[in-house]
């Protein structure tokens, strides 16, 4: 063992409180640097919208600053996790730091995604021209609109989101008074509030099921740099979806742990309403809805009542989705959700397509790649569905808290893995903010190490892969022109570290950072 240096000795001689303050201040300064370098108020009118690479003109300094900044944020994040998990007073650092970071990033230009501009454009079209975003793309607007160019490459695409998101986005338009910069800031505030609400709900949920680990779980999500950058800096609607989904999870836990009481009906209604609202922002929660319905049905004693309960909850959810979608339904041929998977990039699926197309052609390669990936995902899904059903069969009736907690843990684990593998290998085009779909479940599974470590490594790899695609491939034209080679490197840099993490932590079941 190496003898401690003066720096390490000085560090360890400081109190835990002092070290927590150091992590908070150091992280806050990095987020402030991200914001001051590219403030939203200065760059919001750039047409078309640009990313950090174009803002820095593909410079070596911009590349190094981004990579070093992300690495430093993750270093302070992991250090904070070590300290916060053992310090009872760290709750003020978890929430205070998260709120400080989020509101700092609210003033930053969205440096790695333009979705926020698209949200604002779509709402503007609905408010000014009565063009519902689910049915009409911005290209159908009057060409004289001064902000039309901010739709960027999405100008010909209708909204792939649900009506709940479009209502919320329209509300932000009216709150802003229709002024474009103000509208962007209101969207930012919505993202920040959804982030804060999600952290608080994670903490409250963990207090119900694993109170000893509530601080660690909240810290894992709240201080994750990817969560903060995608929720507050880029203001993705995924964090709003997760807020509603976590509300449903809270009601789900109260329903299972509370047994049959007078409040059961209220919790049931709240669970279905919140889960359906989350689906009506983005449709991804539909994947895991059956896991929750199986668990809720397990509260009934007889098999016939369990089946009836599952069917009723499912039909009510589908009916609510139908009623919300019906007035705005664009038709199956025009539904943007179906067309979002017709292109591929920066993903395992894209790599498979590129590897196959020389032999079978692009169209056939796309079909084969989709078939292979969906077959794997189908197996993963059915296995997890079987595990949830098995667990509910073993612990049916939820006779005591232990039975209910066992079922809850299985539902969370299956939800995590289905969403995790879908993001890792199943999406046709990979985006870093998709990790918001499963990171809350990794926090809820604490003290299991495997999901948390995989989530941490995946978060870091997802942010660090961005400069490879946006800057390095511009510096090395061969990687830009040779798509297969470019994707072999890019997808490997993203996927391999995550797979290695899963393998290394496979046998561990205690938290250890």
Instruction: Express each pLDDT in 47-65 by its tens digit.
Output: 888 888 888 999 999 999 9
List pLDDT tens digits, range 462-497: 999 999 999 999 999 999 899 999 999 999 999 999
Q: CB–CB of 215/90 below 8 Å? A: yes
Which positions ≥6 away from 275 have C-beta within 8 Å? Answer: 244, 245, 248, 285, 289, 292, 317
Sign of dihedral through CA atoms 343, 347, 353, 358?
A: positive
Pairwise CA distance, residues 38 & 50, whole Å:
11
pLDDT above 90 (res 509): no
List pLDDT tens digits, range 324-381: 999 999 888 788 887 766 778 899 999 999 999 988 998 999 999 999 999 999 999 9
Long-range pairs for 56-63 at CB < 8 Å and ≥24 separation?
Answer: 58/471, 58/474, 58/475, 62/471, 63/467, 63/471, 63/472
> Which of 234, 221, 231 minimizes the C-alpha distance to 441?
221
Compute the chain's Rg from CA coordinates: 23
Entry pTM:
0.94
Helix, strand or coil, per DSSP, at residue 513:
coil
């Amino acid at each position: 063992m190496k003898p401690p240096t003066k720096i390490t000795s000085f560090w360890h001689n400081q109190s835990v409180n002092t070290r927590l303050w150091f992590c908070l201040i150091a992280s806050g300064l990095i987020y402030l640097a991200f914001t001051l370098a590219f403030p939203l108020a200065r760059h919001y009118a750039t047409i078309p919208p640009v990313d950090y690479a174009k803002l820095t003109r593909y410079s070596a300094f911009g590349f190094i600053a981004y990579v070093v900044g992300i690495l430093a944020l993750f270093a302070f994040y992991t250090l904070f996790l070590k300290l916060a998990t053992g310090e009872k007073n760290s709750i003020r650092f978890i929430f205070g730091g998260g709120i400080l970071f989020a509101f700092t990033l609210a003033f930053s230009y969205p440096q790695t995604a333009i979705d926020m501009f698209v949200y604002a454009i779509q709402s503007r079209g609905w408010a000014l021209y009565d063009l519902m975003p689910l049915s009409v793309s911005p290209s159908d607007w009057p060409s004289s609109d001064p902000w039309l160019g901010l739709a960027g490459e999405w100008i010909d695409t209708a909204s792939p989101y649900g009506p709940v998101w479009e209502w919320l986005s329209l509300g932000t338009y009216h709150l802003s008074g229709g002024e474009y910069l103000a509208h962007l800031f209101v969207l930012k505030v919505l993202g920040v509030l959804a982030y804060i609400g999600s952290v608080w709900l994670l903490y409250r949920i963990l207090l119900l099921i694993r109170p000893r680990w509530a601080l660690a779980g909240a810290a894992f999500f709240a201080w994750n740099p990817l969560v903060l950058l995608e929720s507050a800096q880029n203001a993705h609607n995924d964090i709003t979806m997760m807020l509603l989904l976590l509300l449903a999870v809270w009601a789900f836990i109260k329903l299972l742990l509370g047994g049959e009481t007078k409040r059961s009906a209220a919790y049931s209604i709240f669970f279905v309403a919140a889960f359906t609202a989350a689906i009506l922002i983005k449709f991804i929660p539909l994947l895991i809805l059956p896991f929750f319905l199986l668990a809720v049905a397990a509260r009934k004693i007889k098999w016939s009542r369990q089946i009836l309960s599952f069917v009723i909850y499912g039909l009510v959810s589908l009916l609510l989705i139908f009623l919300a979608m019906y007035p705005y339904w664009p038709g199956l041929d025009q539904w943007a959700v179906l067309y979002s998977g017709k292109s591929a990039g920066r993903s395992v699926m894209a790599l498979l397509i590129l590897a196959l197309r020389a032999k079978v052609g692009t169209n056939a390669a796309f079909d084969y790649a989709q078939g292979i990936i969906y077959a794997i995902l189908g197996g993963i899904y059915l296995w997890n569905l079987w595990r949830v059903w098995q667990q509910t069969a073993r612990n049916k009736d939820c006779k005591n808290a232990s039975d209910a907690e066992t079922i809850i843990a299985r539902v969370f684990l299956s939800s995590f893995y289905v969403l995790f593998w879908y993001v890792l290998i199943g999406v046709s085009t990979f985006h870093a903010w998709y990790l918001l779909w499963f990171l809350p479940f990794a926090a809820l599974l604490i003290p299991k190490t495997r999901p948390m470590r995989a989530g941490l490594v995946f978060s870091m790899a997802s942010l660090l892969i961005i400069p490879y695609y946006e800057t390095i491939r511009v510096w090395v034209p061969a990687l830009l022109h040779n798509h297969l080679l470019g994707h072999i490197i890019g997808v490997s840099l993203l996927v391999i570290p995550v797979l290695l993490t899963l393998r290394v932590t496979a046998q561990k079941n205690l938290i250890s950072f």
